Amino acid sequence: MSISTLDRDALGSLLSEQRTAYEDLRARGLTLDLTRGKPSPEQLDLSQALLALPGEGDFRAADGTDTRNYGGLEGLVELREIFSDLLGIPVPQLLAQGSSSLTLMHDTLVWAMLHGFASSPRPWAAEEKVRFVCPVPGYDRHFALLESLGIEMVPVAMNEDGPDAEAVAALVADDPTIKGMWLVPAYANPTGGVTSPEVAARLMAMPAAAPDFRLFWDNAYAVHHLTTDETKSTDVLSLASAGGHPDRVVVFASTSKITFAGAGVALFGSSPANIAWFKSHLKFASIGPDKVNQLRHVRLFGDAEGVRALMRRHRDLLAPKFTIVDEVLTSRLAAYDVATWTRPLGGYFVNLDVVDGTAARVVELAKAVGVALTPAGASFPYGADPRDRNIRIAPSFPSLDDLRAAMDALATCVLLAAAEKSLA
Ligand code: PLP
């Protein structure tokens, strides 16, 4: 019973049915929020012990450093060791810093604009034009950051196995204005796709016209598995060296969705040359990161296995939410052929594509009955989804009951907008 096969009478009945369901929703006075990928309070409780760590009297790092004092620009070695294991990056090439990886991405870009990388002919800001390849749909804050710096965005398709590598290779091959690219390699925001080692190898080996082309490898969801199929982080630094471009990739990660969002530890990994470059600018911005915070994380985790165990407890809380999303969408929408959505094996999001030309209408309808959704188009550069069909669902924060109610309301809005469009 695909909506496209319904005659006008059947469409009319569908429309009035969904209008009634929609008026019922309005009467319920919902206030539900599916906008941002925040951990739920129950997830934050998993790291509650942090609030009492490292504890009075516990302030010395493994090498005897007094973490209460200045210094140690690279971050605590024992924390870098834990993430070296999890991210597949040698300890000397991995820095532990403040609480936000987005800040590290921002700083890297600002330093590239002001100073350029070691291989840059001139600072990026002195170029006539700087452009970035942006797999779409992607992370809205990546795009907003580029926009704030005047860096133009060139979209390419994000597939299940990563970005369309052939399209990227063709773009960067002879356009020196393309200086970089975003990529969330494992459990992409918002598709949940995982970049395959083959695609990663191609991106690391492809010739680039810009001598300082950089791939911003944002591994925000590296250990955020939703099933027992735990995708291992790709050793992208080795792939970069093997591809003949050891300085091509800069890696970011954080514990924002492992411990406390906004009060965790962010990580920066890259080649020895890029680490030296990063530190040469960082040293003017900081005398050293918050080592007390890093120490309490070390005490909480113990080792890499401690992080994996904690993430399994996150999974136990998160996986049922992703199941609800899929269940409601399947039971309400599958028969009508009005939407497709992802079933991610990790990360924080479900990518929902509705009937072309109706995403903004769906978001507006949902808002009017008290269900807040990320603005339509947010996952595209400049907020412009050329097909107006994409909606990002963030199921982590609401309770199971609220999530089910919100998804049911969303499904009604998707059907209503689709019926309206078919009859227009
Ligand atoms: N990168 C991606 C892909 C994200 O989805 C998010 C948060 O949603 C971040 C980075 C933010 O990371 P942080 O909290 O470390 O700044």
pLDDT in tens, 191-209: 999 999 999 999 999 999 9
Tell me, in angstroms, the distance from the centre of ligand 1 to residue 123's CA. 26
Q: Is the CB of 218 under 6 A from ligand 1?
A: yes
Q: From CA 392, how far away is CA 353, in angstroms rounded?
A: 9
- Nearest-atom index, ligand 1, CA of 348: 5
Ligand 1 contact via 139 beta carbon (within 6 Å)? yes
- Average pLDDT value for residue range 311-321: 98
Helix axes 400-423, 304-333, angle to 10 degrees: 40
Q: Is 256 in the pocket of ligand 1 (CB under 6 A)?
A: yes
Backbone phi and psi for residue 160, each to the nearest 5 degrees, phi listed first: -65, -30
Per-domain residue ranges of the chain = 3-43+308-423, 65-302
- pLDDT recorded at residue 110: 98
The reported pLDDT for the residue numbered 36 is 82
Task: Identify the CATH assignment for 65-302 out of 1.20.1730.10, 3.40.640.10, 1.10.8.10, 3.40.50.720.
Answer: 3.40.640.10
pLDDT band for position 424 (cuts 50, 70, 90)? confident
**For 407, how many CA atoms within 13 A lie in the half-sphere containing its CB?**
27
Residue with tokens 């949902």, as numbered in its chain: 366
pTM: 0.97
Instruction: Report the alpha-carbon distance of residue 275 to residue 8 in Å, rounded.
Output: 63
In angstroms, the CA 193 to CA 238 distance is 22
Q: Count Cβ neighbours within 10 Å for each residue of 72-107 and write b for 16 or more, e otherwise.
A: bbbbbbbbbbbbbbbbbbebebbbbbbbbbbebbeb
Asked: is 3-43+308-423 a CATH 3.90.1150.10 domain? The reply is yes
The verdict on the CB of residue 100 being under 6 Å from ligand 1 is: yes
Q: State the pairing for strand pair 131-136/152-159.
A: parallel
CB of 120 within 8 A of CB of 212?
Answer: yes
Q: Ligand 1 centroid to 63 CA: how many Å?
A: 31
> Percent of the chain at pLDDT above 70?
100
The residue among 141, 153, 156, 154 whose CA lies nearest residue 106 is: 141
Residue-wise pLDDT tens digits, 212-247: 999 999 999 999 999 999 988 899 999 999 999 999
